[in-house]
Amino acid sequence: MSENKVKSSENIAMLENRLGISRRSFLQLCAAMAATMGLPPGADAAIAAAVASKKRPSVIWLHFQECTGCTESLLRAEHPTLEKLILDVISLDYHETLFAAAGHQVEAARRLAMKENKGKYLLVVEGAIPTKDKGIYCKIGGQTAIDMLKECAADAGAVVAIGSCSSWGGMPSTGPNPTGSSSAGEVLGKVIPNIPGCPPNPYNFLSTVVHFLTFGKLPEVDHLGRPKFAYSRLIHENCERRAHFDAGRFAMEFGDVGHRKGYCLYKLGCKGPETYANCPAILFGDVGNASWPVGTGHPCIGCTEKGIGFTKPIHALADLKNVTPPLGFPRIVEEQGSGATIASVAVVAGAAGAAVGAAAAMAHNLGKVTVPPPENPGKSEAKKEPERAEP
């Protein structure tokens, strides 16, 4: 075994003791993260080596206009749990909600972390930034949110916006937006990696951090700055109710028969057909199957999409991105008719004054066959009585 492999094996063994998990569980976690991010074969080994051996990245986490739901979501992560994350995977050097200290001590810790990890720390921004009246509507330690964000971002190795509020303004930016709430990217004047959601799934954030730790850069993003591994497909494509949509089975009201049977929620305003996220694939809270809004019977509100979540009314129908249902659908169980009888055909034909038509219909129903055309159309042949089919 090479020296590097021996060293890596020793580091993983040490990590087993620190994290309190088996080697197999740790390697399975790394493989799952690699698969989630769509990384090539071998990336799981690189992730394992990086987490086991590299210095924990310093993380500075800012809070602005938000409900702390993004942090609350992270608190409920199980792979790894929060204490293992902040003590063994990353070094959380500033977080207003999770810090025991307060006031000047906290601000001193932030500035020290920025100085000691200049150009290397990961800056996480939670919440929208008010820009009206020079940003006076959100201040921390006497410093406006605008000034604090710009100061922290100047020497950061990477900046990540977590949650819809930080990604595109979210609920605080909903009209009339009296404080001029804006996204972190808008304030910084550039596209930064966004992990939108209200709240976002914590594993999308954890995978992004692990990618940064392993490869020294953030994962590939789309034109809105969202990591492609998490936001490249419509919710509608992976929804467990999609089959009902294709079959035309919709819940029309909350609590009706269709709603209780798990039919599609499109007509109740589900925004899944126009929202990009992986919610139905990785779920929430590690509590089992169907642990996401649509799975529990509520329409998706499109919280990962700017101009949809907190903007478009919940009851409004989604703009379908990839398929448009027809105006009418067959019923779940179609009634089967008995077909027309000879008598009914004759009555209808007689009422219409078409005796010839009735005769033709009766002949067809009785199994009468037609005479094949002559082989030589130019020559006349004697007409033959058509043979009656066997009953």
Question: Backbone phi, then psi, for 126, in 5-degree steps?
Answer: -115, 120
Q: Domains of the chain: which residue ranges?
A: 1-54, 56-231, 233-326
Rounding to the nearest 10 degrees, give the CA dihedral for residues 116, 117, 119, 123.
-130
Q: What confidence score (pLDDT) does residue 18 get?
A: 62
Enter the tokens of residue 391: 């009953």
Binding site feature residues: 67, 70, 165, 198, 236, 239, 264, 270, 279, 300, 303
pLDDT by residue for the chain (391 residues), tens only, comes to 444 554 556 666 666 666 666 777 777 777 777 776 667 777 777 777 776 666 778 899 999 999 999 999 888 877 666 666 665 677 889 998 888 888 898 999 999 999 999 999 999 999 999 999 999 999 998 999 999 999 999 999 999 999 999 999 999 999 899 999 999 999 999 989 999 999 999 889 888 888 887 888 888 999 889 999 999 999 999 999 999 998 899 999 999 999 999 999 999 999 999 999 999 988 887 777 788 999 999 999 999 999 999 999 988 999 998 776 555 655 555 555 555 455 554 444 444 454 444 444 444 444 444 444 555 555 444 444 555 545 4
Q: What confidence score (pLDDT) does residue 6 get?
A: 44
Separation of first and last alpha carbons in the chain: 85
Binding site feature residues for [4Fe-4S] cluster: 67, 70, 165, 198, 236, 239, 264, 270
Enter the tokens of residue 196: 């939108």
Enter the tokens of residue 325: 């249902």
Q: What confidence score (pLDDT) does residue 369 get?
A: 44
With a CB cutoff of 8 Å and minimum separation 6, the contacts of 63 are: 71, 95, 96, 97, 126, 127, 140
Whole-angstrom distance, CA of residue 159 vs CA of residue 54: 20
pTM above 0.85, yes or no: no
Do the beta carbons of residue 145 and residue 130 sit within 8 Å?
yes
Buried/exposed code over 8-42 (b: 16+ C-beta within 10 A; e: otherwise):
beebbeebbeebebeeeebeebbbbbbebbebeee
Do the beta carbons of residue 166 and residue 153 sit within 8 Å?
no
CATH homologous superfamily for the domain 233-326: Cytochrome-c3 hydrogenase, C-terminal domain (4.10.480.10)
Domains 56-231 and 233-326 share a fold: no
Amino acid at residue number 97: T
Do the beta carbons of residue 37 and residue 203 sit within 8 Å?
no
Binding site feature residues for [3Fe-4S] cluster: 279, 300, 303
Do the beta carbons of residue 239 and residue 318 sit within 8 Å?
no
Amino acid at residue number 163: G
CATH homologous superfamily for the domain 56-231: NADH:ubiquinone oxidoreductase-like, 20kDa subunit (3.40.50.700)
Q: Smallest Cα–Cα separation from 299: which of 311, 289, 309? A: 309
Enter the tokens of residue 309: 């979540």
Instruction: For 216-303, list the strands marked E by DSSP.
Output: none
Do the beta carbons of residue 146 and residue 187 sit within 8 Å?
yes
Dihedral over Cα of 193, 198, 202, 204: its sign? negative
Enter the tokens of residue 163: 């949650």
With a CB cutoff of 8 Å and minimum separation 6, the contacts of 204 are: 195, 197, 227, 230, 278, 282
DSSP 163: S
Whole-angstrom distance, CA of residue 308 vs CA of residue 315: 12
Q: What confidence score (pLDDT) does residue 217 get?
A: 83
Q: What confidence score (pLDDT) does residue 341 get?
A: 53
